[in-house]
Structure 1
């Protein structure tokens, strides 16, 4: 009889689940019929439920009997605590232990069995499952909980799941849930999925703003806030702080300032705590009043009982890519409006509550927290995509597309560390890196360290890079020491104690366990770190292949082509370094941490990265082409030899570099060539001729220099070899004979004026062609001369007998009718030997004096 009872309990019936759920006093229960109906008629759903609605624990149970008996539900949670908590709560509703119908899988721990049909997992685990078995045949529904947090893992997992649904499993269903979410956008991403909304259960919460005064000590601000909370609250107090350091500091302040209150208990809550310690914060305690000091882990997904007051620092730690160290780093940032609302809501679960915000009400918060895909390192993301068989993020269904430049840089890095081939495909080494679940830079080094029998040292170095600087906070001057090897030696000192050292040693053990399988497969015996410290720079160079640096002047040239200076107190003067930490941007970039590496180590351990190139370059000093055979490590030149007898096309390419560097305008242009250029430019400004003639503007000539100039540079090495004749030939070759004849006809070099003289036109001095001619030579000319078949008027500069400007006009007829009389009166006395007729339109045009005319 007992056997049958266990059999019934192993598969909860519809009636059993309905009875369990209907008695729950949670707002989501009233919406279960609507959720179930939509689930049965649609492949995808979006559920927007306010905090306290009960969506995380009730919805999966309600949908369990709507999927086939041989399939399970996967629920993604953003944190390990949330995953465990959700699994325990659901198991408790069913009256079971975790691991039976409901189980969980998180990093380094799982509680599941053959009976498990609801599996709560953290986000990275689903990605691993999809990569190893894209079909997920045993899964009927995937629930993405708290999707508003927009972690990179959640974005990847959802994108992969959508593709699986569209290509392999049209029966796979997806449900995205969140309290604060741009629900419309996610519904569109899921092929216009139904959007369901559910209110939460929150009582009114009064909000008080306590803005820090200028130069006010944080300890004082916090103490006052706790005092205020104790006065207004009768229950537990939840304090949101950005990180562990602030939590420890707040704990000390409370212990010192409120030591007389025997009922007051301080409890800490953050991700790295053991689960048993985390549970102390979640569960109520009889006879005591708790102050819970928490990171944003308490914002969503977990229920903290007994809280009616929140103190919100308004700060959070956010993962962001730091180009100075090459990894993501946690940065302290202001929270968003959405986070502030979530935190405030924690005070209104039991009844009316209060929230003390430690910022000014006038402070502006951004609406939502930005997605990780827009602010974090994309190397892991690029590797996951390559493993999935996707060349570009645009091929996936993502709410936000990452920066193209950042994604391309990530791919370049993966190629450098041997994770991808040149075609961007994952190779064996890349798969091994993925299996470790660490940053590809570090994964590459860890795997290679085993080959050097330096796995233990590799794990130590990796942990040192992942944690904050070992010497940060030291006040004996050691922190300013830029040598990374000094930090390793300090780590070995038994008398040196710090929290960071403990974290480094702990993390190195975690990494060693991940490496264990690869290490055993290699069969090599790993040496002790202290015995092989000389391999430190080699292992660092494997992490930072793009940051091997060569001394150049007062600074260094990095293998990636960028330059970096050193601070004034920088103690290292080695020829080659591996740069660990940079600071600043552009020309202000400085090296703050590095390790010296020898030339022989570079050649011995990185031979596949050393290449020989024949480099033909322009030399600014000699204004000529220089050809060299260079031995290179990326952009670093290790050796250089002068080359001779190069192919003519290489020399020409080098000379063209010089032409472009000096500028097209600095070629030997003659006045005649400048006139030729301007004739074409002004002609092309007329729409009728734009397609008949080439563009010879400086910009166009620069863009097409290889087409028109290169054929005329054969045998030339220097800029001075390009003569006026060479330039003239090259330019005029752009026009065939017929086109040149057409140019001469439309834009002639000179025109015949009324006196019979041929007068040159100046095309280069102004925006319009200029005809500078003595006024007397234009007598009888009624209209302004025109070019280009009458489409372009010239600008006439009428000159005195001494060839000084008298009048500038583009309307000759108007000049004769209005201005001529004034000019005549002024000039007649000054130039009496020249004709100044009363009627210029009937007078004889002449370039001579009156006396010469009479002859």
Structure 2
């Protein structure tokens, strides 16, 4: 078969034999997945990122040899294997090869491992690459590694493989025209895609391949395209149904696919591609404990790959569902899953490998430490990790499931039976909930259910809560209780609030939430898939989350309760009446609302201001009478509630801060009142930066020395008042005021206040209060 890859096969085999590792850069459709393995010598294992791609590649290679699958070329994916003693080339998924490597790090008998579609940066593929490099460095230096990529960003990959040679192949592609179809106002993505699909059917001959983000969108589009043959292609379909989409149909078809059809396989007959521009990728919100799939814009590289599907066999056309000016804003490449996904499964595999932190391995991108720490916490809670991997952890890893689902299968089989537990686990292992929000039986692949049921022990036990129990075993932190009667909001044990859409579960007090997510900008999450639960079930499924704790605090008044909680959910509460609890709650209130809750009269406020003044001016030993200092010395006595705090004198609390023996000089250093020449004792205002004495002009006739406080260090600022008590002058230098300021004051005020004395010589006039 003459494909672009044919011209470099001999060079590729020689280079790989000489160097032990090679990077092959070749676009889709060049034959790298099917012709290269056949040209390699010895036993070859091909690692594909997806099960459908593994089966399709094996089938294509077998057909080129004129043989059935399972003879020279075979495959192995989870739950399905077709190989024989004659099999020389085996196509497997990356995750399955990781498991095989864990049990046989030397990969006995294997001469070459081909890592296909490395550019997709799936989590299993990145982990597999790191483990293979480690195994080759320590155990199998003769193991040949060939990495293929559809993009030109191969330098980092070549460096990881030991400065491996890079061989590039140019594809002889057919021309592909491009039309941009931006959405109409308020148009949903499904309506937009259907509009583009109908245009493609009217303008281009051949089948139409439509890329949508997920199964829900595929089903909604299929319901709108009732007048054409519609084929679905996604990861939740049975193998036979997936494989049928890769065979030509008797009539023109519209193939509605997820990203599963982007590379590694060819959908025959396609002449047009409709690209929604969206993809569903793993994302995890560590703070809220929500891990799942998020809908994101595709990268430019993915958009180009999707468009290339239209030109595999003949000239074609791509219809892009976004404005042309937005194309330049797309990210260049997709984010590697290792940066954004839940790393619990990866952490379990690293623990099985003997390096839980992943240190010492050569990574394309190392796993983020924070996400790995969260994964380790989860594994310890599941009993899979202690100081190292536990026997239970190895058992969970061998099941080939996410550790949470492995725990649900192992423990659920003992509680409700292997088949019931397996059915729920299969449903949870899908990439998205089925139609509706309520988890329902009968939707799981019976073949996969049977396979998993055989892996665990137990006997079937009829239980109306079986589904909820298995869900809760997988996600105990997602057990949820309604916040208030009639409310659609539920509080999950992990502390996250989530909204339940209207439907059959609307009357449920408790839920076991299987799938929940949170859209950016929303205050709470959204429940996508759940089962009806109960408090009894929650206690049974999540005993580790049951804690009894004292809730002592302040909510406008004293809160002192002993609570039984399931994570963040309060199951019961009893009042705590101990003096220690009451004191802690009152102090919490004073910290929250301030010491203004105490009784503060004018004397108390002034005492606090005087002490603050001495602290600012003199420093030690005079303390700062801030809230924290006052809280440290407050005597709550018999106070039990908010109202009792208003009976505690703030002045008495402040005076407890006075340092001894310096406290004896408090009134001398910061006197509350100063006697003026008239004989009046007038209060000093310490509320501002400088102490202020407000006094009528007639009371200080003859006074030349400005009063000073703090051992004479700070002059008191005089606010000289009119007979009516209004300020007429401000001075810190009385002698200067009498010379220059007083004549002006006298001329302005003696006509206004003729009954008061305004002598020409204030220094000779006797002071008077009136």
User: Which range, TM-score by smaller chain?
Assistant: 0.7 to 0.9
Give 3-state SS (helix, strand or coil) of 2:100's partner. helix
CA offset at residue 671 of structure 1?
0.4
Q: Once the two structures are superposed, what CA deviation does each residue of 1:206-248 show, in whole Å capped at 9, x if it has no partner?
A: 3122345457865554222211112xxxx66544445567667
Q: Once the two structures are superposed, what CA deviation does each residue of 1:35-81 show, in whole Å capped at 9, x if it has no partner?
A: 9769967x98766544455554577678x67xxx8xx7654321123
Residues 101-250 of structure 1: matches in 2 within 5 Å? 104-111=75-82, 119-133=90-104, 144-161=115-132, 177-180=148-151, 199-214=170-185, 219-230=194-205, 238-242=209-213
Aligned twin of 1:825: 747
Quick one: which of 396, 408, 415 aligns to 1:433?
A: 396
For 1:166 and 1:757, how far apart are their aligned partners in 2?
Answer: 95
Aligned-residue RMSD, C-alpha: 5.8
Quick one: which of 534, 539, 542 aligns to 1:597?
A: 534
* CA 237–612 in structure 1, closer or farther in 2 if over 3 Å, else same: closer
More helix per residue: 1 or 2?
Answer: 1
Aligned twin of 2:330: 366
Give 3-state SS (helix, strand or coil) of 1:452's partner. helix
Question: 1:518 and 2:456 equivalent?
Answer: yes
For 1:50 and 1:591, how far apart are their aligned partners in 2?
Answer: 37
Give 3-state SS (helix, strand or coil) of 2:227's partner. helix
CA offset at residue 800 of structure 1?
3.5
For 2:222 and 2:645, how far apart are their aligned partners in 1?
Answer: 77
Q: Once the two structures are superposed, what CA deviation does each residue of 1:659-704 show, in whole Å capped at 9, x if it has no partner?
A: 33444443445304531564377569xxxx7x99877655xx3xx8
Give 3-state SS (helix, strand or coil) of 1:533's partner. coil
CA offset at residue 834 of structure 1?
5.0
For 1:743 and 1:193, how far apart are their aligned partners in 2?
Answer: 82
Aligned twin of 1:805: 727
Residues 235-274 of structure 1: matches in 2 within 5 Å? 238-242=209-213, 256=227, 269-271=233-235
Quick one: which of 591, 605, 616 aligns to 1:660?
A: 591
For 2:679 and 2:158, how far apart are their aligned partners in 1?
Answer: 82
For 1:794 and 1:36, how far apart are their aligned partners in 2?
Answer: 96
Aligned twin of 2:690: 769
Contact 1:750–1:758 (Cα < 8 Å) also in 2: yes
After superposing the two structures, state which structure 1 stretch, 301-310 or 733-742, moved more. 733-742
Quick one: which of 584, 590, 613 aligns to 1:679?
A: 613
Contact 2:76–2:83 (Cα < 8 Å) also in 1: yes
Q: Once the two structures are superposed, what CA deviation does each residue of 1:282-306 show, in whole Å capped at 9, x if it has no partner?
A: 5779x98776554433322234566
Question: 1:380 and 2:317 equivalent?
Answer: no
After superposing the two structures, state which structure 1 stretch, 569-578 or 649-658, moved more. 569-578
Contact 1:625–1:717 (Cα < 8 Å) also in 2: no
* CA 384–732 in structure 1, closer or farther in 2 if over 3 Å, else same: farther
For 1:636 and 1:441, how far apart are their aligned partners in 2?
Answer: 21
Q: Once the two structures are superposed, what CA deviation does each residue of 1:178-204 show, in whole Å capped at 9, x if it has no partner?
A: 334765666787899887766544454
Contact 1:48–1:179 (Cα < 8 Å) also in 2: yes
Aligned twin of 1:848: 767
Residues 618-767 of structure 1: matches in 2 within 5 Å? 618=553, 620=555, 623-624=557-558, 626=560, 628=562, 630-638=563-571, 652-668=583-599, 670-672=604-606, 674-676=608-610, 678-679=612-613, 682=616, 697-698=626-627, 701=628, 708-709=632-633, 717-718=640-641, 737=660, 762-764=685-687, 766=688
Structure 1: tracts of 5 or more residues without a match = 1-22, 258-264, 473-478, 492-500
Give 3-state SS (helix, strand or coil) of 1:354's partner. strand
CA offset at residue 754 of structure 1?
11
Residues 65-80 of structure 1: matches in 2 within 5 Å? 74-80=45-51
Contact 1:755–1:846 (Cα < 8 Å) also in 2: no
Quick one: which of 284, 291, 301 aligns to 2:264?
A: 301
Contact 2:79–2:448 (Cα < 8 Å) also in 1: no
Residues 450-469 of structure 1: matches in 2 within 5 Å? 450-452=413-415, 454-465=417-428
Q: Once the two structures are superposed, what CA deviation does each residue of 1:250-301 show, in whole Å capped at 9, x if it has no partner?
A: 77988836xxxxxxx987654456667666765779x987765544333222
* CA 246–625 in structure 1, closer or farther in 2 if over 3 Å, else same: closer
Contact 2:348–2:356 (Cα < 8 Å) also in 1: no
Contact 2:230–2:255 (Cα < 8 Å) also in 1: yes
Residues 280-359 of structure 1: matches in 2 within 5 Å? 294-303=257-266, 309-319=272-282, 333-349=296-312, 353-359=316-322
* CA 291–725 in structure 1, closer or farther in 2 if over 3 Å, else same: closer
Contact 1:753–1:778 (Cα < 8 Å) also in 2: no
TM-score normalised by L of structure 1 = 0.68
For 2:172 and 2:456, how far apart are their aligned partners in 1?
Answer: 51
Contact 2:412–2:469 (Cα < 8 Å) also in 1: no
Contact 1:29–1:58 (Cα < 8 Å) also in 2: no
CA offset at residue 518 of structure 1?
1.9
Contact 1:46–1:187 (Cα < 8 Å) also in 2: yes
Aligned twin of 1:261: none
Aligned twin of 1:3: none
CA offset at residue 122 of structure 1?
1.3
For 2:9 and 2:668, how far apart are their aligned partners in 1?
Answer: 85
* CA 828–577 in structure 1, closer or farther in 2 if over 3 Å, else same: same
* CA 27–797 in structure 1, closer or farther in 2 if over 3 Å, else same: farther
Give 3-state SS (helix, strand or coil) of 2:463's partner. helix
Contact 2:472–2:541 (Cα < 8 Å) also in 1: no
TM-score normalised by L of structure 2 = 0.74
Contact 1:31–1:198 (Cα < 8 Å) also in 2: no
Higher RCO by CA contacts (8 Å cutoff, separation 6 or greater)? 2
Give 3-state SS (helix, strand or coil) of 2:613's partner. helix
After superposing the two structures, state which structure 1 stretch, 826-835 or 275-284, moved more. 275-284
Residues 385-396 of structure 1: matches in 2 within 5 Å? 385-388=350-353
* CA 276–620 in structure 1, closer or farther in 2 if over 3 Å, else same: closer
Quick one: which of 345, 365, 383 aligns to 1:399?
A: 365
CA offset at residue 448 of structure 1?
2.3
Q: Once the two structures are superposed, what CA deviation does each residue of 1:602-628 show, in whole Å capped at 9, x if it has no partner?
A: 667766665555x2524657x446454
Aligned twin of 1:18: none
* CA 340–650 in structure 1, closer or farther in 2 if over 3 Å, else same: same
Quick one: which of 440, 460, 464 aligns to 1:533?
A: 464
Q: Once the two structures are superposed, what CA deviation does each residue of 1:297-352 show, in whole Å capped at 9, x if it has no partner?
A: 332223456655434343444455699x9886666654332221112223445665
CA offset at residue 771 of structure 1?
2.0
Contact 1:652–1:714 (Cα < 8 Å) also in 2: no
For 1:393 and 1:438, how far apart are their aligned partners in 2?
Answer: 20
For 1:190 and 1:694, how far apart are their aligned partners in 2?
Answer: 66
* CA 718–357 in structure 1, closer or farther in 2 if over 3 Å, else same: closer
For 1:587 and 1:349, how far apart are their aligned partners in 2?
Answer: 45
For 2:711 and 2:315, how far apart are their aligned partners in 1?
Answer: 86
After superposing the two structures, state which structure 1 stretch, 653-662 or 111-120, moved more. 111-120
